[in-house]
């Protein structure tokens, strides 16, 4: 068994449309490589820091990711046999000589571990639908707009006109 502990730069596009690990930022791999009958079993974890946007208020969200990794890399002849046995070729990771290409496995581990809809806080109230103010900001604590039913607004105008008349 071999242990691999290494910090690598994050590959491009490691994430979703709303959150991801920035390209080139540190990814810590902590992996065990074990020779088994069919090939090499890679297990362990990958850690990194994802940066995204709150889906409610667009504020930056930083999320630590710690994703478990487990993947079997099979010897090419085993892979061929497995495909003949009807296994899905796409799902088989083949060893390339003695090399293990970890990147796709890291991707498969990290992306599903990211929050599907990141939020800056679980009770983020989002943005004001009328003016776009960020409602979680302290200065917007009692933010509101006077909402008038259009029919009442109409009456208000009549009242204004009457008031004007009264004054004159």
Residues that bind Zn ion (CB under 5 A): 54, 56-57, 59, 120, 124, 128, 130-131, 133
- Which residue number, 72 or 133, has a Cβ lying nearer to Zn ion? 133
Residue 109 CA to residue 136 CA, distance in Å, equals: 32
- Which residue number, 80 or 143, has a Cβ lying nearer to Zn ion? 143
Q: How far is the CB of 31 from Zn ion (least distance, A)?
A: 35
Q: How far is the CB of 61 from Zn ion (least distance, A)?
A: 8
Q: How far is the CB of 120 from Zn ion (least distance, A)?
A: 3
Three-state SS string over 134-160 comes to ECCCHHHCCCCCCCCCHHHHHHHHHHH
- Which residue number, 51 or 124, has a Cβ lying nearer to Zn ion? 124
Q: Let me know if 139 is exposed, middle or buried by CB neighbors in 10 A (0-12, 13-18, 19+).
A: exposed
- Which residue number, 93 or 134, has a Cβ lying nearer to Zn ion? 134
Q: How far is the CB of 138 from Zn ion (least distance, A)?
A: 14
Q: How far is the CB of 153 from Zn ion (least distance, A)?
A: 18
- Which residue number, 56 or 93, has a Cβ lying nearer to Zn ion? 56
Provide the b/e sequence for 120-132 (b: ≥16 CB within 10 Å).
beeebeebeeeee
């Amino acid at each position: 068994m071999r242990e691999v502990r290494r910090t690598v730069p994050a590959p491009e596009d490691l994430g979703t449309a709303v959150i991801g690990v920035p390209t080139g930022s540190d990814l810590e791999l902590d992996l065990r490589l074990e020779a088994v009958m069919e090939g090499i079993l890679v297990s362990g974890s990958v850690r990194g820091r994802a940066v995204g946007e709150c889906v409610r208020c667009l504020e930056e969200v930083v999320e630590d990711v710690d994703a478990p990794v487990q993947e079997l890399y099979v010897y090419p002849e085993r892979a061929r046999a497995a495909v003949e046995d009807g296994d899905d070729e796409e799902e088989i990771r083949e060893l390339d000589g003695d090399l293990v290409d970890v990147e796709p496995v890291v991707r498969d581990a990290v992306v599903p571990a990211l929050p599907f809809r990141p939020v800056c806080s679980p009770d983020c109230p989002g943005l004001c639908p009328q003016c776009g103010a960020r409602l979680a900001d302290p200065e917007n604590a009692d933010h509101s707009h006077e909402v008038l039913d259009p029919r009442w607004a109409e009456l208000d105008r009549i009242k204004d006109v009457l008031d004007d008349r009264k004054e004159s």
